[in-house]
Each structure stands twice: as structure tokens, then as C-alpha cells.
Structure 1
Amino acid sequence: MNSTMMKPLRQQNRPVISYVPRVEPAPPEQAIKMDAFRDVWILRGKYVAFILVGESFQRSPAFTVPESAQRWANQVRQEKELAE
């Protein structure tokens, strides 16, 4: 195939969107705590991690497996410890 005939990649200058954790006073009442994991809760059918940072909780994005949510919590906690 001739390289001059190839289409250019779409959305080349698309900005990278990074996730900013939500800050909440406490995990919501409708969230169900998973006993097998330290920081993981079930919220609306997805797995979400809540970690206490200072006076409030940080909420992870929603994950489809609880291990991913716990990994996010461990990583954020580790980053906070390194920053201190």
C-alpha cells in the first residue's frame, strides 16, 4: 500500500484528560463495603475505592473488578506517603 494514500490519524491534537479523584466527606450510605478488600466498596454495580486523605475521602473511578479499585487505592496512598 502506498504510504501517501494512507489516511492521517484522527484527533491527533486531542487533549489528554486525566482523572481527578472526587473528594467526599464519607463513602455514600448506599455503598456496600467489601470485607475482602481494605478500601473497596460496591456502588451502582461497580467497584469503587475510598481512601481517607486528611479530613475527607478520595473516590476512585469506577472499576469492573475489585482488584483494580484496591490497586488504585494502594497507588494513591503510596503517592501521598512519598509526597509527605
Structure 2
Amino acid sequence: MADYCQQCSVRVHGRDTQDLARLCEPGATAWELCEGCGDVVEVDHAGVRVERGEDGGIINDACRIVPSRDLTRWQRLKRRLW
């Protein structure tokens, strides 16, 4: 089953499915694979993808959407691996 960060979940499903939510305590972050971003991403307790700025502070809403062509290629690769 595919897991998505909050931003990708809303884009793909039209709602937040909370796939990557509740992986850590509030104020902490966790690293997980987001199928929509196509990469291992840092998410907060709500499943929102975050990135760190140059000063180490969190930049919210940092979702990088993978173009559908690349996502399809990733899905084909994943099928071969499973």
C-alpha cells in the first residue's frame, strides 16, 4: 500500500489520509518514504513534509511533487522489486 505525506495525499486522494501521521511525538520528526514525492522525506507528527532551512529551522509545506512520468517509472520499478 502506498503511503503519502499530507500534501501528496490531498493531491492524489483529494483528502488527507494520514498515511504518515502519528509516526512521532509532536515537536519531533520522522523519516519515511512518500510515494508521491518519490523519496524518503522528513515528516512531522501530522504527516506534513518538512525541510530544514540553512539555519536548521523547519520550512513547512516543502512538498516536491514528482511529475507523473517519473512516478509511473517508480511504480514500474516497485512492481519488479516485489
TM-score (norm 2): 0.28
